[in-house]
Structure 1
């Protein structure tokens, strides 16, 4: 059986949830899910595929993602079957193309900042978990959602992830 490594950088768990969903779509793969924040070193050569998923918080990817990329740049560039996806709330605006690598300001910023340029990139809408946030995060995210015409009821949890889109990405990843 083929092996896939799933690395994630997640704040609230939606990125990990998306990876678990992708694992369910890849019946021909044995998948290993690892939080890249806890990783010192890993050998990509024992995997047929590598997938990195990361979430945006306050407009930025976690610095540990960039450190991981820098520390593993050679492996990322040498392994031919590595993909990346980004999870953010702006991607909920599919009608504006915010859910595409070309239309996502976060992916464009990532590609400028990162020495690694993945060949397959996905952009998925995340989820709002207002009841789980502390006071400061709740108020900041509510302000951002007010400015972007999003959900502002802080008693709600709203999942914006387009699972059909995730399935299509999983298929492309399997076919790398």
Structure 2
């Protein structure tokens, strides 16, 4: 199978997840090509399966991913597709599925596309990497959601077993 993966990331965790998914799929003898949404210049229809991954910042999926989906919807509809969201809200067990994650639910209410498979992964919290304004805003959001607010905190919430299983599921899609 020839599989394309397009992603948008702010802090790099979505790329890290895409790389793990690619590794899983390559181990299962798939040909996988990974692109930043900024660098994708192929034809979606040249792939047997197509995966899109997006980070979230301030409750919104990456603008370029939304534009990409809207621009390519008719082509995406002709192949097997998957979408995954990376966000810190998914660190909570009650909000780590596509049907319980508020950002994913909201996303699919505002976009006219239905992928074959949807998943959500918790991201990484790393206050030291954030610019000042982002750090203050994320600390405030974490305070409101009872998360860690210590500006020295670095926590990777991503469940790598879940990412690996997603890769295997994509192979069988």
TM-score category, normalised to shorter length:
over 0.9
Write the deviation string for residues 28-49 of structure 1: whole angstroms up to 9, x where unpaired. 112211111344x431222122
Task: Supply the distance in 1 between the matched residues of 2:66 and 2:19 (Cα, whole angstroms).
Answer: 23
Task: Supply the distance in 1 between the matched residues of 2:140 and 2:127 (Cα, whole angstroms).
Answer: 12
TM-score for both structures, normalised by structure 2? 0.94
Number of equivalences: 171
Query: Is the partner of 1:72 in helix, strand or coil?
Result: helix
Mapped contact 2:45–2:78 kept (Cα < 8 A) = no
TM-score for both structures, normalised by structure 1? 0.93
* Cα RMSD (Å): 1.1
Alignment of 1:105-120 (within 5 A): 105-120=102-117
Mapped contact 1:91–1:104 kept (Cα < 8 A) = yes
Structure 1, unmatched stretches of 5+, are none
Structure 2, unmatched stretches of 5+, are none
Write the deviation string for residues 6-54 of structure 1: whole angstroms up to 9, x where unpaired. 1001100100100101111111112211111344x43122212211000
2:49 is aligned to 49
Q: Runs ≥4 in structure 1, deviation > 2 angstroms?
A: none
2:15 is aligned to 16
1:170 is aligned to 167
